[in-house]
Amino acid sequence: FGTGYSSLSYLHQYPFETLKIDRSFITELPPDDTETQGLALVRAIQMLADSLQMKVIAEGIEDESQRQALLRVGCRYGQGFLFAEAQPAATWLGAGRPLLLN
């Protein structure tokens, strides 16, 4: 969410259950509790999803500090090299599930 063809109007037009936060936002997360624009945007997306009763999946989590920052703003699902390298879809069909961050 937040890049390309994403738009707030789509949240209103279609019955989405999950938002994915684009990796470009995750790479901007600070390594500590410092308040930054990147952290504020991720928090705002999480709060928007919470108010719409949607799940959030963060893309591109590469290190523990990013995972911790996401946990602090309430994001519980994520994907990225911190958890596993990219693999063929056939590897995960029937077994793949979003990972809980905690």
Residues 6 or more apart whose CB falls under 8 angstroms from that of 18 comprise 54, 55, 56, 57
The residues carrying an active-site annotation are 59
User: What does the alpha-carbon distance between residue 19 and residue 92 come to, in Å, rounded to a whole number?
Assistant: 21
Return the structure tokens found at 2: 């937040």
